Amino acid sequence: MEIPLTPLEFARRTRRLHPDREAVVDGQLRWTYEQFFDRCDRWSAALEGMGVGKGDRVAYIAPNTHGQLESFYAVPQLGAVLVPINYRLSAEDIVYIVNHSGSTVVCVHADQLDVVDQVRDRMPEVEHFVALEGARADWEDYEALLARASSEFTRPAIAETDLLSINYTSGTTARPKGVMITHRNAYLNVVGTLLHLRIGLGERYLWTLPMFHANGWTYTWTVTAAAATHVCLRAVDPARVFELIRTEGVSWLCAAPTVLIALAHAAPEVRGSVPPGVHVVTAGASPAAATLERLEQEFGWEVTHVYGLTETTPFITVCEPRAEHEGLPAQQRSILKARQGIELITSGELKVAGDHGSEVPWDGATVGEIVVRGNVVMQGYFRDPEATEQVMGDGWFHTGDAAVTHPDGYVEIRDRIKDVIISGGENISSIEVEGVLLRHPAVQEAAIVGLPHEKWGETPHAFIVLQAGDSATADDIISFTRQHLAHFKAPTAVSFVDELPKTATGKIQKYVLRGGTSAVSRQ
């Protein structure tokens, strides 16, 4: 008899084999796997008592707390659909997502209660507003509901093609789109992660990545599958991260490049002693080679670069190290490690496609678009068949990422297609220029966008965040770039800023930068 592929199977197995192993640490709270899953069962029963059943949507707005983690088991084992929402979104976006998803229950952390209170009357389909922490009048109390509930509830038959979650994209340029992830999608991404990024039994994972983002890159289930320990972190603060690595024996974490930069450049008094041997998984943008070198050579950490999108559950490539890389100089090895890499065993088929859909040569030079099909590609966009057809109509999911394939099969993104700068008829990869800028000793972060130019149509404009205590001039930056790239690729202007505008997951919002220097904090 076949058993559907669902991450709930990982919960069943770990509960059976490792009931007494520590599952969750959240501040002073510590639970074994048996205690954790008992809480999940009781919350499932409470939700069922609210009328939640198969196919119903339950929304969450919360940082990385135990209550948020429990949602990834309590909601789907009812056959319901989880809607994890970015807690940094505006009230308007929250209203749109809750209403568009048709969520009937909204669970909110104490820090976001005021925001949701402002717009509750604009979400007419919501029948229950639950305060995960900090309950107040007119809110149902999560812990009180859970304490009163039994652990008995109806477990419906779940097909692997059933929806598990609807994950809304950031909506930086348009209304957020709801990415439909199935039980099969999530299961196979977890298996691929375990094969390529081998977190082991009893290891300890620190939640530096938001759980709401692509289901925490499915580590909400991956850590459980390994019977490892979830160490919750409600806000990323470098001092707190280093403290937990030391005191909790953390061996794994995932991080967007902005978090890697903050950790790599933390002052000695902030980071204290740094335990070696931490495995770091990063994605979102290519990490700077200089950042990789510091984390690996100074800290003794191992950094692996992966690539994917919310629409692909999310991993579709991993920059897997090979034996032949070990003998290379550190700088060259760091450049290789910043590539997007090769397909995961479980992710399906990936190619870099040219104008007519055929695969480009593996020459490291011919640019095409990354397209994928297979086990981890979303079911589609919720209630948006036109958008689904636009990106998946030919049977391949079109990522919008421009890339090359190297002779060894490793893919390297050169840009978002919409971010390619065309200057005087020449294509310029903003990522290539940023990679050079990040090797300047005074540069901590860099972003390149094309801004209008009277002669060339557009030229690269650099936005630079300097290292604390360092200085540089625009001429220094431009001259440094020209030493390493063709002159037409070098920025023609430089703005020095205190910070770059980013999404909650660390992606630089280049559309803000294209608004000009008035859109950022200083010259």
- DSSP state string for 37-103: HHHHHHHHHHHHHTT--TT-EEEEE-SS-HHHHHHHHHTGGGT-EEEEE-TTS-HHHHHHHHHHHT-
Contact 311, 377 (CB under 8 A): yes
Q: Which residues 6+ apart lie within 8 Å of 352 measured at CB? A: 359, 360, 367, 368, 369, 370, 371, 403, 404, 405, 411
Gap between the Cα atoms of 144 and 406, Å rounded: 56
Could you say which of 416, 444, 460 is where a domain stops? 416
Tokens standing for residue 19: 């009931």
Examine residue 410 and state whether it is found in any structural domain, yes or no. Answer: yes
Examine residue 5 and state whether it is found in any structural domain, yes or no. Answer: no
- Residue 318: give its domain's CATH number: 3.40.50.12780
Tokens standing for residue 322: 């090979």
> Domain range for residue 49?
32-181
Amino acid at 114: D
Mark whether 399 and 431 lie in a shared domain.
Answer: no
pLDDT score for 289: 66
Residue ranges with strand state E in 362-481: 368-373, 380-381, 397-405, 411-416, 421-423, 426-428, 443-453, 457-466
Mark whether 361 and 461 lie in a shared domain.
Answer: no
Q: Is 201 exposed, middle or buried (0-12, 13-18, 19+ CB in 10 A)?
A: exposed
Gap between the Cα atoms of 333 and 158, Å rounded: 45
Examine residue 2 and state whether it is found in any structural domain, yes or no. Answer: no
Q: Which of 169, 185, 165 is nearest to 177 (CA)?
A: 169
Mark whether 396 and 287 lie in a shared domain.
Answer: yes
Place of tokens 């030079």: 365
**Three-state SS at 326:** coil
Contact 495, 461 (CB under 8 A): yes
Examine residue 393 and state whether it is found in any structural domain, yes or no. Answer: yes
Q: How many CB atoms lie within 10 A of CB 99?
A: 14
Mark whether 308 and 324 lie in a shared domain.
Answer: yes
Q: Is 210 exposed, middle or buried (0-12, 13-18, 19+ CB in 10 A)?
A: buried
Mark whether 278 and 353 lie in a shared domain.
Answer: yes
Mark whether 434 and 408 lie in a shared domain.
Answer: no
Mark whether 122 and 240 lie in a shared domain.
Answer: no
Full-prediction pTM beyond 0.75?
yes
Gap between the Cα atoms of 375 and 86, Å rounded: 25
* Domains in the chain, number: 3
Strand 457-466 to 493-496 pairing: parallel
Strand 443-453 to 493-496 pairing: unpaired
- Tell me the chain's radius of gyration from C-alpha atoms: 23
Mark whether 144 and 170 lie in a shared domain.
Answer: yes
Q: Which residues 6+ apart lie within 8 Å of 217 measured at CB? A: 193, 209, 254, 281, 283, 306, 308, 314, 315
pLDDT score for 175: 83
Examine residue 216 and state whether it is found in any structural domain, yes or no. Answer: no
Examine residue 19 and state whether it is found in any structural domain, yes or no. Answer: no
Examine residue 194 and state whether it is found in any structural domain, yes or no. Answer: no
pLDDT in tens, the chain (523 residues): 889 999 999 999 999 999 999 999 999 999 999 999 999 999 999 999 999 999 999 999 999 999 999 999 999 999 999 999 999 888 999 999 999 999 999 999 999 999 999 999 999 999 999 999 998 999 999 999 999 999 999 999 999 999 999 999 865 456 889 999 999 999 999 999 999 999 999 999 999 999 999 999 999 999 999 999 999 999 999 999 999 999 999 999 999 887 888 899 899 999 999 999 999 999 876 666 667 778 988 999 999 999 999 999 999 999 998 888 888 887 788 788 888 999 999 999 999 999 889 999 999 999 999 999 999 999 999 999 999 999 999 999 999 999 999 999 999 998 888 787 878 767 788 888 888 898 899 998 999 998 888 777 788 999 999 988 898 999 999 999 999 887 888 999 999 999 999 876 677 888 888 875 443 433 3
For CA atoms 258, 261, 267, 272, the dihedral sign is positive
Sheet (strand 443-453) strand order: 443-453, 457-466, 493-496
